[in-house]
Amino acid sequence: MSVLMNHPLPAGTMLENYRIERQISCGGFSIIYLVYDINQQPWAIKEYIPQTLALRAAGEIPLQIPPEHQAEFQRGLAYFFEEARVLSGLNHPNVIHVLNFFRANGTAYMVMPLERGRTLQNHIHAQRGPVGEAFVLNVFTNLLHGMSEVHSCGLLHLDLKPANIWLRCDHTPVVLDFGAARFAVDIGPPAPRAMYTPGFAAPEQYHGNYTLGPWTDIYAIGACMYATLAKAAPPPADDRLIDDYLHPARQRFSDFYSPRLLLAIDECLRLSPVLRPQSANALRTGLDSASDSGWTAWLRKLRHHLRP
């Protein structure tokens, strides 16, 4: 089945008590809509509609799913619904909150707050000079608070990138789009049709030589920090496994940022999962260190306690 751009639900379509106004965005797994409830309050609704498995024609509501893709579509639908259930139980300011979720039209939907602001990607590209270190530390220490909560529920994001990090008007971050997420009970080699973004995906997402875990999201967070400084993604991890031409952050950006921040980025971007910080809390502890000497001491301790 060729990959075609799916058409959104028509404006005015009702989903339970929500009326669709327009499409906000779309991705490989979903379409997000601006909707209004019966009290005319705006919300965002995310629809499960994987581009490679299902198709909706213009002006239609039902999905067309070829028989050969039915099993995989239903499996993804079950993951989407379980993801919604887990996110509905999370109420963290740095993770998108799901207020309601339901099945309709042969697929599933999540209702989320409509956040005002812009993506980290758009913010980076709008800056003419270097992004300030205080901004970087504020965004990523808060993001790590949120990801620690996500990981504590057994959920891995697996597609963290600047386009999936929303900045509110006060620059507090919100982690978006868990479309590629998997659960701790399911970690192992990447699933068929696994979704990842070159430059931000860890090496273990390309092959089954390593187990996926929180350290996989840590690689992506390091890549996001690197991209915030460089205004471009680091080299794809599968390329780095063949010829690692990544210019380390501690060398490339030493004129503008502290060793504490640059060393943290380089530790996150290690190709071997066992050499990275193993959890969001571990990385946040390093970024929260009051001084560069505090970070260096933490780094020595981290390496001493790395898992075998």
- Render pLDDT for 62-109 as a digit per residue (tens, 0 to 9): 899 999 999 999 988 988 888 888 888 888 999 989 999 999 999 999
DSSP-derived letter for residue 162 is G
Residue 247 or residue 87, greater confidence:
247
Compute the CA torsion angle 282, 288, 289, 295 (nearest 10 deg).
Answer: 50
Task: For the chain, give the mean pLDDT.
Answer: 86
- In the prediction, which pLDDT does 195 show? 63
Residue 57 or residue 247, greater confidence:
247
What dotted CATH number matches 14-112?
Answer: 3.30.200.20
Q: What is this structure's pTM?
A: 0.82
- Contact between 180 and 196 (Cβ < 8 Å): yes
CA distance 14 to 19: 5
Alpha-carbon separation of residue 276 from 111, 195, 220, 227, 296 (angstroms): 35, 22, 11, 18, 15
- What pLDDT, in 10s, does the model give residues 134-146? 999 999 999 999 9
Would you list the domain boundaries of the chain? Answer: 14-112, 117-304
Does pLDDT of 186 surpass 70?
no
Homologous superfamily (CATH) for 117-304: Transferase(Phosphotransferase) domain 1 (1.10.510.10)
